[in-house]
Structure 1
Amino acid sequence: MSTKSPRKIIILNGHPAPSSLSKSLCDAYRTAAEAQGHEVRYHDLSQMQFDMDYGQTGYKNPKPLEPDLARFLDDLEWSEHVVMATPMWWGAVPAKLKGVFDRALLPGRTFDTRNINFLGLPAPMLTGKTARVLLTSDTPAIWLRLIYGNAIKRFISSQVLGFVGIKPTRFTSFAPATDAAPAKVESWLRQVAGLGAKAA
């Protein structure tokens, strides 16, 4: 049992396939976190059923949230620490994961459009939470930084999680992920289990 107070953790496996490295990383984190007494609520993108298209209704008349999205948003509000695993596809996240952001991160629940700062930005409503993103790619981290300016990391940390108040967001990168040797994958899983044990 951890000597630290247990944390409320939501884990989102953001890979749309039922079997993936992202899922294995989430499983390793979850097992280690629960073993240390942390409370974990797990969501698997491949099992979530919802319409990814926000549509033309606008924020004034949004589509009702499907049960999987409603549960995700409830657990996001409940959590103290957000863990998300995602592959990098075409420089960004999978379309279905983007659909979760589009549909579930709603005004009145995650940001307040009635409370605008001097820059014109709405007040975030999910403050007091931290995040860890487990990012898999075939592009080494150094190339993500030097060639692409860490665009995917800035998108996730600032334009999504940070926008609704979840920060800081820390990243752990795993690359090259495709056809990684079993020994390398095992070392990654041990690394993530270490993070899970600390709820970091």
Structure 2
Amino acid sequence: MTPKRILVLNGHPGQTSLSKSLVAAYAEAAIKAGHDVRQHDLGQMSFDLDYGEGGYGSAKPLEPDLETFLSDLEWAEHIALSTPLWWGAIPAKLKGLFDRSFLPGRTFDTRNPNLIGMPRPMMKGKTARVILTSDTPAILLRLAYGNAVKKFISRQILGFVGIKPTKFTQFSPASHPKDAKVKSWLGQVEKLGAQAA
């Protein structure tokens, strides 16, 4: 297997979490398999998550953590993201990370729209794996909510800038899983990490 450049992001804002453990297992397995890994932990990142009222013409300067994240995103061939499902979506700080760092000229090109007038994505050639933890079972997420969070992440965020396909691994119920269940989940993400999948 050809080694890949992988950006690993823990998208849980807390200092300790199941998401953090899962993405750490992914990263460790990827490194052992010979992949080049750069890791980011949302809870350790310092930035103003509110985009504000400036607009793209006068956007806030990127804080060092955001600049490093964006540079690593440009470098990466594959992105592994872990996030909990909170109120049907992602944590506010994770949304803020995308709001602040996915900017025109760096992740999409508004000056050269495609045939239907949409900005051209600048992150083409990259793939993603999202490890989603929730208390909502996968079947209910699909039948009752139409997999809205998965569409939001894969199409409106990552896909918009050209990162595709985005594959999902969902673990639930995640609030109080038994140790044996967590061990099984860790084993699953270790296999994904080794394969850079």
The TM-score by the shorter chain falls in which range? Answer: over 0.9
Shift, 1:42, TM fit: 0.2
Aligned to 1:32: 29
Aligned to 1:42: 39
Shift, 1:116, TM fit: 1.0
Shift, 1:118, TM fit: 2.8
Give me the whole-angstrom Cα distance separating, in 2, the residues matched to 1:151 and 1:5: 34
Aligned to 1:133: 130
SS of the aligned residue for 2:57 comes to coil
Are 1:68 and 2:65 an aligned pair? yes
> Which of residues 93, 96, 100 is equivalent to 2:97?
100
Give me the whole-angstrom Cα distance separating, in 2, the residues matched to 1:150 and 1:180: 22
> Which of residues 111, 114, 119 is equivalent to 1:117?
114
Give me the whole-angstrom Cα distance separating, in 1, the residues matched to 2:138 and 2:183: 19
RMSD: 0.5
Q: Deviations over 1:6-65 (max 9, x none)?
A: 100000100000100000001100110000110000000000000001011100111000
Work out the percentage of aligned pairs sharing the same amino acid.
66
Letter in 2 for 1:74: S
Alignment of 1:1-200 (within 5 A): 4-200=1-197
- Relative to the length of structure 1, the TM-score reads 0.98
SS of the aligned residue for 2:94 comes to helix
Letter in 2 for 1:195: L
Give me the whole-angstrom Cα distance separating, in 2, the residues matched to 1:119 and 1:158: 16
SS of the aligned residue for 1:167 comes to coil
Give me the whole-angstrom Cα distance separating, in 2, the residues matched to 1:120 and 1:101: 22
> Which runs of 5 or more residues in structure 2 are unaligned?
none
Higher strand proportion, which one?
1
- Relative to the length of structure 2, the TM-score reads 0.99
> Which runs of 5 or more residues in structure 1 are unaligned?
none
Q: Deviations over 1:79-137 (max 9, x none)?
A: 00000000000000000000000000000000000011232210000000000000000
Give me the whole-angstrom Cα distance separating, in 1, the residues matched to 2:52 and 2:164: 29
Instruction: Return structure 1 stretches of 4+ with deviation > 4 angstroms.
Output: none
